[in-house]
Chain A
Amino acid sequence: MPSLKTPSELDRRVALKLLASVMAATMARCSRPDEEIIPYANMPEGLVAGEPMRFATTLMLAGYGRGFLGISVDGRPIKIEGNPKHPFSLGATDIFAEAEVLSLYDPDRSTAIHHGDAIATWDEFAADWGRAAQTKSGEGFALVSGRIVSPTTLARIAALKSRVPELRWYRTEPVNDDAARAGSRLAFGRVVTTLPRWANADVILSLDADSLGHGPDELRIARAYASRRGNGAKRQRIHVAEPVWTLTGAAADFRIALRPEIIREIARAVANAYGANLGTPQLPDYAKDFAQRAGNELMAARGKALVLAGESQPAQVHALCHWINAQLGAPVDYLPSQDTVENDHAFELAALAEDLHARRIKALIVADANPVYDAPDALRIADGIASLPFSAHIGLYRDETARACHWHLPLSHALEIWGDARALDGTASIVQPLIQKLYPTRTRDEYLAWLANEAVTNAYDLTCMSWQNGIAGKFDAEWRKALNDGVVANSAAMPLSVAVARVPDLPRTPATRTMTIALSPDPSVWDGRYANNAWLQECSKPFTKQVWGNAVQIAPGDAQRFNINDEDTVDIEVDGKTVTAPAILTPGQADGVIGMTWGQGRLNAGRIGTGIGTRVCAISSHPFARALDGATIRKSAHTVPFRSTQAHTRLQGRTEDLFQIATLAELAHPEHPPKQLPPSLLSVPAKGEYAWAMVVDTDACIGCNACVVACQSENNVPVVGPEEISRGRDMHWLRVDSYIRPHGYTERRGFQPVPCMHCEFAPCEPVCPVEASVHDREGLNVQVYNRCIGTRFCEANCPYKVRRFNWFDYSGDQAYADEGEALKAQHNPDVSARGRGVMEKCNYCLQRISRARKTAEKEDRKIAEGEMVTACQAACPTRAIHFGDLNRADSDVSKLRHAPQHYTLLQELNTRPRTTYLRRIFNSDENG
């Protein structure tokens, strides 16, 4: 990592404003127009033209900060990678972090102050605010925001409160931890943050807690999870009871699908085993087996056993889990909540609605939140805001709330600002800009500081102010180190010592016969804030493989009961409100449960996100509720297309050899020796200087899609848009195939990332008439775009179907939504942008290999093991993707190739892939 110098830091960015990339984009060569080279007038210090530089920064999810590295070329951020030093990244990324770099250049971002629909000036806004803020006490002043744990922003809010003392701050985050908070209050009498030490647990029981699902803690847990996989004794065992599929459920060794209210009976059964004496659990037989096994194993692993509850479970279950964990001596840390607001999120939103309608609010500032979209229609937030004399919205987009407010103030993107954030455990990190602001925008802190009449209103100074005291004494050196590392040293909170006073009561709920809706944030666009990000819209959801929309997941039994077929459009009605969406049949989901996601159906997201999918959050009268009872489902009169990148998630035919599964017991006593390579008439190729290979561990893979978006970002992979998806076209170089297979009373699921196999006996190469698909001496199956004439014979003959064809000029003139040139600034200059009529595919991040090789060759050495990291590999939170040199016997990939769970996809075709797999392992004593 380059070392950074604080003050000249700014000079660098000022200079970038004049940025002139030496790499002027060349036009088509045929006419050979003259081309200009524009050097810098004054070369910024530290910048190396055309070379990628890495800067540590922080991105937020649900308010919590996670540290990442931004890669920047010629002053343009082009890629986000994980920051190994940040405990909530550990070098990995998730799809949201990866996609931020696209949002930065989003041409739909708000760039101007708006009054109503008209562009207004800052002075006009200042005048209006001045009038509104005349009352000294600030009576009727309200601030709405999401979760805020940034010290600098908290200081701004404090400052604002000192200017308008009566300011009421409504903090309401749509994807929140209300149930956990309530459970924590019940158990400990205070709100604490529960952080499991996942890696220390031998047995885990998850009661619909999606720890591996997207969220601020995902990357930390995923890494710990990965450290306990493999075929050895260190392997942990995971039991999951959940109503609909989650990533944690798919990763489980034992999983059971149950309605939410029955899951609590499992908790009751387990607690009873420790003498909780909560009455007989009411469980079906198969669930009794599950509960008994989970309970016994937890007991046996006392001290290394852990029980977790999810947001769909009521506070009592959370409290009970705390009690069980206390009995187990579970590896779990209790930390003071960084979220200092005492009230729960749903309560705050309801309070906001009530105060709006009761006219207790006169002036409203919405700081980077979208309550009009998030809140159920029943709360009529938009009407409430519309009736106010003064309202202003600060946001990246002119979204639904912006349009309800009088004023809209454009917000700077996270990659252009100074600021700070804390992670779940309090670890602080600095938000550092990678580029000067693209538009005349301000940061949230800058707006708030201005509103509070603070003396300093510059984000850099504001941030420094927060830390001058925090890093007392040797500020300069410490500050530089914090910027460099992306973490403020020793800023994490100390664990609390809290005790559960008594066995919490667990009331019984009458078993309902109605349908229950299980709600969760959208796996791709979260609570909707990423809806205008085309990468995320086109990132297929782990289980349904749906893109550009949201669907209703129903169990096959229910589908039969209600006479619904796959992809039928259905109406879901609850509390008199109806939403319409395509249905998708999901084996392994609990009967009587409808799975739905928030985040789609945006009304004012932008060219990408507006009108995609259905706004599910409209229907409930309980904001943010994760489970809604009393739903009905029926076939709809409308038709909503279901768009997916994998039409057959419920695979017909035998897939045992494609997605191979083994139990730990089978691996210990393999029935058959490992398959030998089939003989071939072709001679085994002589290996070059390196022999690159990839091993994908499907056992570690949790299906989070980080690799997919990372690949898209690294390799300039275009999006194609919903219409093209409907035509069966997509461009992802790396796809994640979803497999499902019946097993006992449930199903087993798994994910198989499929990049190019780089077959040694590649079927795609001999069929290419022009040598556009060829091998290089290091075993890469490369595609020479400029030589390709587009016969598509290679893809026709690819058994893995990993090649992607530019049917239209997806990255140029025929790009989806015609968003213009701005997005091209994201393009990685080391990778060609592919034109129309050209085949493309994964090339093992050839540009990175090339860079690594040149670096090594300049130093007269070979590329070291681990020096060459592909984009997907770098992103993977579970380190499921291994890459390296087969010529080294001691390399990671060479060793994995000899693992007992190693296999080759479609080995019988004898294509000799360089990309191979490790089997999905179930930690089970049984066979199969």
Chain B
Amino acid sequence: MAQLFRPGANSIAVIVIVAIFAVPTAAIALTYFIWNSPYATDQNLTRAQPVPFSHAHHVGDLGLDCRMCHTGVEKTAFAGIPSTHICMTCHSQIWTNAQMLAPARASLASGKPLHWQRVNRVPDYVFFDHSIHVAKGIGCSVCHGPVQKMALMRQAQPLTMGWCLDCHRHPEQYIRPKDDVFDIYWSTPPDQLARGKKLIAQYLIHTDHLTDCSTCHR
């Protein structure tokens, strides 16, 4: 008798001891990786919309300005989802009988609004304000990506707090001249950092306050 274990038990014992340390570490790392992945942040997810509105067509092909439909973006926290009325200013003239626009026509007729599925969102304890970002030279495409290429709207950035902080800590990486805010084709110039710093000074942005909790949470 005497031996309780087979020789392989020695290796297993060592593996168990290593695992006691390795498994939790790996689990934390994996969790972080998954939570930060587009899968968990809902990035690049398109959602079924009542009307399959294409930014690629309206912005990319037709070259409409963002503010044409998102009327509140310069004035209010919410950029604003256009009312059916705004859709129909054009579509009462063109594509008046298109099948895909039937819900919009029904909405206008009944006065019942369209129910769009939200694509970009932050938690309700984050008080994001479009107007101030737009006013201080943060372009639409910084957060919303190349909408002119999106047939269906999708979330282009992770919208996590860490992602927000990246810009709030170093806005010079992203800031652009106010005139270019709505230019979806704007690309970062090679001397962006120098330009960005100048713009920060020019726009009187107090960067120290940007990472205060109270900037976004209250």
Q: Which residues of A contact B (CB under 8 A)?
A: 18, 20, 22-26, 29, 32, 34-43, 48-51, 688-689, 771, 774, 776-778, 780, 782, 784-787, 830-832, 843, 846-847, 850, 854, 857-858, 860
Q: Is the CB of B78 within 8 A of A49?
A: yes
Q: Is the CB of B85 within 8 A of A41?
A: yes
Q: Is the CB of B84 within 8 A of A39?
A: yes
CB-nearest residue of chain B to A43: B83
Interface size class of B (residues with CB under 8 A): 35 or more
Indicate whether B15 reaches chain A with its CB closer than 8 angstroms: no
Q: Give the distance in Å from the alpha carbon of A217 to the alpha carbon of B205 in the complex.
A: 47
Q: Give the distance in Å from the alpha carbon of A771 to the alpha carbon of B213 in the complex.
A: 9
Interface residue ranges of B184-218 to A (CB < 8 Å): 203-204, 206, 208-209, 212-215, 217-218
CB-nearest residue of chain B to A773: B213
Given contacts A36-B115, A689-B209, contact A42 B85 (CB under 8 A): yes
CB distance from A828 to the nearest CB of B (A): 11
Q: Which of A25, A49, A774, A843 has the most CB of B within 10 A?
A: A49
Q: Is the CB of A689 within 8 A of B114?
A: no
CB-nearest residue of chain B to A24: B118
Q: Is the CB of A786 within 8 A of B217?
A: yes
Complex interface: chain A residues within 8 A of B124 (CB) = 25-26, 832
Indicate whether B108 reaches chain A with its CB closer than 8 angstroms: yes
Query: Given known contacts A37-B118, A782-B218, A850-B214, what 11 new A-B pairs fall within 8 Å (CB)?
Result: A32-B42, A40-B85, A42-B84, A43-B86, A51-B75, A774-B213, A776-B212, A776-B214, A782-B217, A784-B217, A858-B131
Interface residue ranges of B133-150 to A (CB < 8 Å): 135-136
Complex interface: chain B residues within 8 A of A850 (CB) = 127, 214, 218
Q: Give the distance in Å from the alpha carbon of A89 to the alpha carbon of B148 in the complex.
A: 53
Complex interface: chain B residues within 8 A of A785 (CB) = 125, 217
Interface residue ranges of B148-206 to A (CB < 8 Å): 203-204, 206
Q: Give the distance in Å from the alpha carbon of A847 to the alpha carbon of B135 in the complex.
A: 19
Complex interface: chain A residues within 8 A of B121 (CB) = 26, 35
Q: Is the CB of B218 within 8 A of A51?
A: no
- Of A39, A689, A786, A857, the residue contacting B113 (CB under 8 A) is A39
Indicate whether B80 reaches chain A with its CB closer than 8 angstroms: yes
- Of A22, A35, A860, the residue contacting B81 (CB under 8 A) is A22
Given contacts A39-B83, A688-B206, contact A777 B212 (CB under 8 A): yes
CB-nearest residue of chain B to A40: B83
Given contacts A26-B123, A35-B118, A688-B208, contact A782 B213 (CB under 8 A): yes
Complex interface: chain A residues within 8 A of B112 (CB) = 18, 41
Q: Give the distance in Å from the alpha carbon of A58 to the alpha carbon of B110 in the complex.
A: 35
Given contacts A20-B113, A43-B83, A854-B132, contact A688 B209 (CB under 8 A): yes
A–B Cβ pairs within 8 angstroms, 29 of them:
A37-B81, A38-B113, A38-B114, A40-B85, A41-B108, A41-B112, A42-B85, A42-B111, A43-B71, A48-B72, A48-B75, A49-B76, A688-B208, A689-B209, A776-B209, A776-B212, A776-B215, A777-B208, A777-B212, A782-B214, A782-B218, A786-B217, A830-B127, A832-B124, A832-B217, A847-B127, A857-B132, A857-B136, A858-B132
Complex interface: chain A residues within 8 A of B107 (CB) = 41
Q: Give the distance in Å from the alpha carbon of A38 to the alpha carbon of B112 in the complex.
A: 10
Interface residue ranges of B45-85 to A (CB < 8 Å): 47, 71-72, 75-78, 80-85
- Of A26, A776, A784, A854, the residue contacting B131 (CB under 8 A) is A854
Q: Is the CB of A832 within 8 A of B132?
A: no
Interface residue ranges of B80-121 to A (CB < 8 Å): 80-86, 107-108, 110-118, 121
If over half of B's interface residues share one DSSP class (helix, strand or loop), that class is named, otherwise mixed; here it is loop
Q: Is the CB of A843 within 8 A of B115?
A: no
Q: Is the CB of A38 within 8 A of B209?
A: no
Q: Is the CB of B203 within 8 A of A860?
A: yes
If over half of A's interface residues share one DSSP class (helix, strand or loop), that class is named, otherwise mixed; here it is loop
CB-nearest residue of chain B to A845: B218
Q: Give the distance in Å from the alpha carbon of A474 to the alpha carbon of B124 in the complex.
A: 48
Complex interface: chain A residues within 8 A of B215 (CB) = 776
CB distance from B39 to the nearest CB of A (A): 12
Q: Give the distance in Å from the alpha carbon of A221 to the alpha carbon of B120 in the complex.
A: 52
Q: Is the CB of B214 within 8 A of A37?
A: no
Q: Is the CB of A22 within 8 A of B217?
A: no
Q: Give the distance in Å from the alpha carbon of A832 to the alpha carbon of B213 in the complex.
A: 14
CB distance from B89 to the nearest CB of A (A): 11
CB distance from B178 to the nearest CB of A (A): 11
Q: Give the distance in Å from the alpha carbon of A784 to the alpha carbon of B118 in the complex.
A: 26
Q: Give the distance in Å from the alpha carbon of A850 to the alpha carbon of B83 in the complex.
A: 28
Q: Give the distance in Å from the alpha carbon of A29 to the alpha carbon of B159 in the complex.
A: 13
Q: Is the CB of B203 within 8 A of A39?
A: no
Q: Is the CB of B125 within 8 A of A786?
A: yes
Given contacts A41-B84, A832-B125, A858-B131, contact A51 B217 (CB under 8 A): no
Given contacts A39-B84, A780-B214, A854-B132, contact A860 B78 (CB under 8 A): no
CB-nearest residue of chain B to A29: B123
CB distance from B109 to the nearest CB of A (A): 9
CB-nearest residue of chain A to B69: A39
Q: Give the distance in Å from the alpha carbon of A49 to the alpha carbon of B129 in the complex.
A: 12
Q: Is the CB of B113 within 8 A of A40?
A: yes
CB distance from B27 to the nearest CB of A (A): 19
Given contacts A40-B83, A42-B84, contact A18 B111 (CB under 8 A): yes
Q: Give the distance in Å from the alpha carbon of A26 to the alpha carbon of B128 in the complex.
A: 14
Rank and list the top 3 A-B pairs by shortest CB-CB distance, nearest first.
Answer: A776-B212, A26-B124, A39-B81
Q: Is the CB of A50 within 8 A of B218?
A: no
CB-nearest residue of chain A to B218: A846
Q: Is the CB of A777 within 8 A of B209?
A: yes
Q: Is the CB of B47 within 8 A of A34?
A: yes
Complex interface: chain A residues within 8 A of B42 (CB) = 32
Q: Give the distance in Å from the alpha carbon of A854 to the alpha carbon of B80 in the complex.
A: 18
Q: Is the CB of B78 within 8 A of A22?
A: yes
Complex interface: chain B residues within 8 A of A24 (CB) = 118
- Of B84, B129, B208, the residue contacting A854 (CB under 8 A) is B129
Q: Give the distance in Å from the alpha carbon of A104 to the alpha carbon of B117 in the complex.
A: 32
Complex interface: chain A residues within 8 A of B108 (CB) = 41-42
Q: Give the distance in Å from the alpha carbon of A49 to the alpha carbon of B204 in the complex.
A: 27
CB distance from A58 to the nearest CB of B (A): 29
Q: Which of A23, A43, A774, A785 has the most CB of B within 10 A?
A: A43
CB-nearest residue of chain B to A834: B125
Q: Is the CB of B80 within 8 A of A49?
A: yes
CB distance from A19 to the nearest CB of B (A): 10
Q: Which of B76, B82, B85, B125 has the most CB of A within 10 A?
A: B125
Complex interface: chain B residues within 8 A of A787 (CB) = 213, 217
Q: Which of B78, B86, B132, B214 has the most CB of A within 10 A?
A: B214
Q: Is the CB of A843 within 8 A of B217?
A: no
Q: Give the distance in Å from the alpha carbon of A374 to the alpha carbon of B182 in the complex.
A: 64
Q: Give the distance in Å from the alpha carbon of A782 to the alpha carbon of B125 in the complex.
A: 14
Complex interface: chain A residues within 8 A of B84 (CB) = 39-42
Q: Give the distance in Å from the alpha carbon of A841 to the alpha carbon of B147 in the complex.
A: 41
- Of B123, B204, B206, B208, the residue contacting A786 (CB under 8 A) is B123
Q: Give the distance in Å from the alpha carbon of A785 to the alpha carbon of B217 in the complex.
A: 8
Q: Give the distance in Å from the alpha carbon of A318 to the alpha carbon of B135 in the complex.
A: 63
Q: Give the distance in Å from the alpha carbon of A832 to the alpha carbon of B126 in the complex.
A: 9
Q: Is the CB of A49 within 8 A of B72?
A: yes
Q: Give the distance in Å from the alpha carbon of A787 to the alpha carbon of B218 in the complex.
A: 11
CB-nearest residue of chain A to B125: A786
Q: Give the distance in Å from the alpha carbon of A695 to the alpha carbon of B47 in the complex.
A: 52
Complex interface: chain B residues within 8 A of A843 (CB) = 214, 218
Q: Give the distance in Å from the alpha carbon of A423 to the alpha carbon of B113 in the complex.
A: 43
CB-nearest residue of chain A to B123: A29
Q: Give the distance in Å from the alpha carbon of A91 to the alpha carbon of B127 in the complex.
A: 29
Complex interface: chain A residues within 8 A of B209 (CB) = 688-689, 776-778
Complex interface: chain B residues within 8 A of A32 (CB) = 42
Q: Is the CB of B116 within 8 A of A51?
A: no
Q: Give the distance in Å from the alpha carbon of A38 to the alpha carbon of B127 in the complex.
A: 19
CB-nearest residue of chain B to A846: B218
CB distance from B114 to the nearest CB of A (A): 7
Given contacts A40-B113, A42-B84, A50-B77, contact A847 B213 (CB under 8 A): no
Q: Is the CB of B83 within 8 A of A689?
A: no
Q: Give the distance in Å from the alpha carbon of A34 to the alpha carbon of B116 in the complex.
A: 10
